[in-house]
Amino acid sequence: MVAIAIPDIATDLQQAIGAPYVQFDHTTRALYSTDASNYQIMPIGVTYPRTVEDVVAIHEITAKYNTPLLPRGGGSGLAGQTVGEAVIIDFSRYLRRVRSVNADERTVIVESGMVLEQLNNQLRGMGLMYGPDPASANRATIGGCIGNNATGSHSIIYGMTSDNIQRLQVVLASGELVWLDTHNTTLNDMRTKIGQLARDHADEIAQRYPKTFRTVAGYALNKIDPDDVNLNWLFAGSEGTLGTIVAAELKLVEYMPPPARRLAMVHFETLRASLEATPRILELNPSAIELMDKMLMDRTRNNAEYARYMDFVEGDPQAVLVVEFYGESDAELDSKIADLRALMTRLGHHSSITVAQSAQQQANVWKIRKAGLGLLMSERSDKKPIAFVEDAAVPVEQLADYIDDVTQVVHGEGTEFAIYAHASAGCLHVRPLVNLKSLAGRRQYRNIAEALTDAAVKYSGTITGEHGQGIARGEFTEKLFGSELMNAFREIKHCFDPDNRMNPGKIIDTPAMDDPAVLRYTPEYEVIELKTRFDWSDDLGVSGATEMCNGAGVCRKEGSGTMCPSYMATRDERHSTRGRANALRLAMSGQLPDGMASDDLHDIYSLCLSCKACKSECPSSVDVAKMKAEYLATRYDTKGTPLTARLFGNIHRVNKLGSLVPVLTNFMLTSPFGLTFAKAFGLPTERPLPTLAKSRFSQTINRPSVASATATLIIDTFTEYNHPEIGQAVLDIANKIGVELNVLRLPKQGCCGRPALSKGLLDQAKQMATDNVRYIRDHVPDGALLFLEPSCQSAFLDDYTTLVNPDLQDAAKSIAARSASVERWLHGQLHDKSLAWDTTPANVMLHGHCHQKALWQTDDTLLLLRLMPDSEVSEIDSGCCGVAGSFGYEHYAISMDIGNQRLLPAIEDAPEATVVAPGTSCRAQITDAGHAVLHPVELINNTLKGLH
């Protein structure tokens, strides 16, 4: 293909499927040049088909120009199979519907872009599920699972994806749309050729194929019956090299709810001991045996979000086997756990065995196991536990000996490794620590890969048990299968794709796994570090922070958690945490046109809500909110600061000015004349602008500081000017129970600086943080610092510690340790007292603020609310409200899309409930939608009479 044809291809594609669904711009292509692997290859362009007919058109047009194609789902491939110099077909945005379900036959027909977890959520009400459960199920698409032949923790029960396919609908390279089980000239000829290949190479197939069912290397000729050829076997694990899967009819199994399961965590003093025990434990017929090693557990303990789920580990074991059993009753499950304990005793095991019985306990264990990849990659260093030999599978009885070889090879190369594994299936995710930016690291990469390929062959295993070959392992296919079968694979490829257009360079004729032309990081990789306001030293600079994104795509999950609100609304890679971190990395390394001045980069960050969810929910703690603030400050240095940023970033000053004449100000904010005036200044007016209270909170109180008080309430901007009733509610509660509470309006700006932080006014925010830290250090006595507004608390708790100068960082950390929500303090004051309550609401629903959920959780708020008698208190699984400071005013449509995903429907479904939310922005979203909402302390004040 010649470069001159690219504009013609783009034009033809736009005419065929619509211009918005074809993107050949540099930035989009750059974002799709990476996946979760070590590789980076610039694609030709990206398409987003909405129908099967669109996919057919894409094939026909690219065939006209002899252009390569690459079907892609969530882009979570670990071996580089979803990057390449091709036109990418992204299925994950639109082609994601369930076409039909046959509950009697236990089958479902689903389009390729459907996310596996979303599919199971829809099937659960019918008591059904899809069996294979890869750790990436919350973002992996069905098409991607088939292309990889994915499986997961329960493969000893449910097998591989290939075992669960009834039939596939594919578009062949020529553009022909077929179900693979139908009979026509094209498919009949293919069956004849494939059957003959299986017959001709039967002896080599029997001798050379790995002696484990967990293998996706090569093409599955070993599964082909020469007399009854089922082409599904070849497409499963083909990595898009034979054709494009657009839909699949899948086999389903009975859904197994947590009450029918039990987990036992068997602790070991050595890694080898855990693997030696695995074959014996398999004799008890568990449903899964998963391994977690010490490095994974240590990384988990260092992650604020995931550490709280680690209560199932006792002491500091070198390895833990998570053994799961299914059963029909508690008695049956108790018996199986007892059998496990007895077996371990006979084996001379003396370490702990803990048990997870409840659904929540089990979910906690699986949450950590499935986050293993990201948790291991949270290493703040250029030397990371990377994927390249992470997917070998060997017969289970060979596990212990294989890991001895791994240890010898990796230690011999002067490094160490982490491991987590599907021990029950002999699949070991071994991750050596390697720095690909160094020449020594590149040598380790090659030497370890070659040696461990030899080890896998030695034990009759495979180089890939579920993650695929891609680029990382493609060159070793011939070493695994021999030249005869390698030539057979080439014939299979030619049979389906004679022009070599379908994801070329995968499975056969792949580039070298250490070819610098395809690696993301090499010794030649360079970045231009920014002039920063935050202290990024713990991340090795802003560039190091962007490189913490390993591409696994956990941020692309939908329908759970908070990260990433704008991705959930748009399903656009640009607006995922991965997309934003990757875009900044590309800009800093000179791989985006205009670099940091790129308008595309600004567009990408404009839809970041600074919700901070990525800092906690991303297993690698990629803090895009902090990156956004730093990036905007850098942009303003050269491009100037927009008026809207100055206005919203200085809302404390705007409110102070407006509070001088609040009646007039409110008229201007709500009248047609005022809105016209606002529009003239470029202010958004689709959402009602917040009005001012008649009196400022600080003007309504006269409370000198009391030396005996052990806590100080920090007055935030919104309590001061917009909602003084909330501050008054706290004081009323304190009076009712007879406790002292000091009140502080911060001097100088009287603001924490959160609005300035969120708008990238970092020089201003830095000065505000400095003033506040110095004043509190020098003038506020020891004791808790209390906050009504979570975003204000998060500034003190999270941002100040790296924003102030080094000489103030210790003071900032001390202040952060003193910072607490008012709800936490009130619960401490109330929980052990005899209280008199007025009539309390029967149903209370809490919507937690994003910063609260990310940094300190909603537990204290829930505990406070549950002090009310005769009330059922629950937390809405709501994610982000969608307003997030000024975001909901500047991006109204998307903010409503976010709010309407979970939060607003949950409130509408419970009209009798009392809704509470501590965040000012959150309450604005709820009230703007026509629902009543209170701050939690208002509800407590309304219902608490006082002490008995």
User: What's the pLDDT score for residue 266?
Assistant: 97
- Under the banding of pLDDT at 50, 70 and 90, the label for residue 373 is low
* 390 pLDDT higher than 80: yes
- Under the banding of pLDDT at 50, 70 and 90, the label for residue 305 is confident
> What is the CA 880 to chain-centroid distance, rounded?
15
Determine contact, residues 174/495, Cβ cutoff 8 Å. no
Using CA atoms, how far apart are residues 82 and 595, in angstroms rounded to an integer?
Answer: 25
Using CA atoms, how far apart are residues 136 and 134, in angstroms rounded to an integer?
Answer: 5
Q: What is the pLDDT of residues 754-778, one digit of tens each?
A: 999 999 999 999 999 999 999 999 9
* 673 pLDDT higher than 90: no
* Mean pLDDT, residues 626-644 taken together: 95
Determine contact, residues 278/300, Cβ cutoff 8 Å. no
- Under the banding of pLDDT at 50, 70 and 90, the label for residue 849 is very high
Determine contact, residues 790/851, Cβ cutoff 8 Å. yes
| Number of neighbouring beta carbons within 10 Å of residue 189 | 11
User: What's the pLDDT score for residue 681?
Assistant: 67
* 169 pLDDT higher than 90: yes
User: What's the pLDDT score for residue 639?
Assistant: 94
Using CA atoms, how far apart are residues 604 and 618, in angstroms rounded to an integer?
Answer: 19
User: What's the pLDDT score for residue 1?
Assistant: 43
| Number of neighbouring beta carbons within 10 Å of residue 329 | 10
Using CA atoms, how far apart are residues 568 and 926, in angstroms rounded to an integer?
Answer: 19
Q: How far is CA 942 from CA 354, 552, 729, 798, 876, in A?
A: 44, 47, 8, 32, 22
Percent of the chain with pLDDT over 90: 87
Using CA atoms, how far apart are residues 467 and 431, in angstroms rounded to an integer?
Answer: 13
Q: What are phi and psi of 584, to 5 degrees?
A: -65, -40
- Under the banding of pLDDT at 50, 70 and 90, the label for residue 2 is very low
Token pair for residue 396?
């289970």
Percent of the chain with pLDDT over 70: 99
* 708 pLDDT higher than 90: no
Q: What is the pLDDT of residues 578-587, one digit of tens each?
A: 999 999 999 9
Global model pTM greater than 0.75: yes
Q: What is the pLDDT of residues 515-531, one digit of tens each?
A: 999 999 999 999 998 88
Residues contacting residue 886 through CB under 8 Å, at least 6 positions apart: 644, 648, 755, 758, 759
Nearest-Å Rg of the Cα atoms of the chain is 29
* 121 pLDDT higher than 60: yes
Q: What is the pLDDT of residues 322-350, one digit of tens each?
A: 999 999 999 999 999 999 999 999 999 99
Q: How far is CA 96 from CA 131, 237, 247, in A?
A: 19, 20, 9
Q: How far is CA 531 from CA 536, 537, 659, 725, in A?
A: 11, 13, 37, 42
* 617 pLDDT higher than 60: yes
Tokens 């490095």 belong to residue: 295
User: What's the pLDDT score for residue 709?
Assistant: 86
Among 530-544, 694-708, 821-835, 933-947, the minimum mean pLDDT is found in 694-708
Query: Shortest CA distance to 783 belongs to which of 827, 814, 749, 826?
Result: 814
* 184 pLDDT higher than 90: yes
* Mean pLDDT, residues 177-186 taken together: 96
Helix (H) / strand (E) containing 600: helix 599-606
Buried b (16+ CB within 10 A) or exposed e, 10-46: bebbbebbeeebbbbeebbbbbbbbbbbbbbbebbbb
* Mean pLDDT, residues 459-471 taken together: 96
Query: Shortest CA distance to 244 belongs to which of 174, 195, 197, 184?
Result: 174
* Mean pLDDT, residues 95-104 taken together: 96
* 898 pLDDT higher than 60: yes
Q: What is the pLDDT of residues 15-37, one digit of tens each?
A: 999 999 999 999 999 999 999 99
Helix (H) / strand (E) containing 843: strand 843-846
Using CA atoms, how far apart are residues 296 and 314, in angstroms rounded to an integer?
Answer: 15
* 545 pLDDT higher than 90: yes
Q: What is the pLDDT of residues 787-832, one digit of tens each?
A: 999 999 999 999 999 999 999 999 999 999 999 999 999 999 999 9
CB burial of residue 276 (10 Å; 0-12, 13-18, 19+): middle
Return the ∠ at Cα 726 (arms to 719 and 566), rounded to 5°: 65
* 475 pLDDT higher than 80: yes
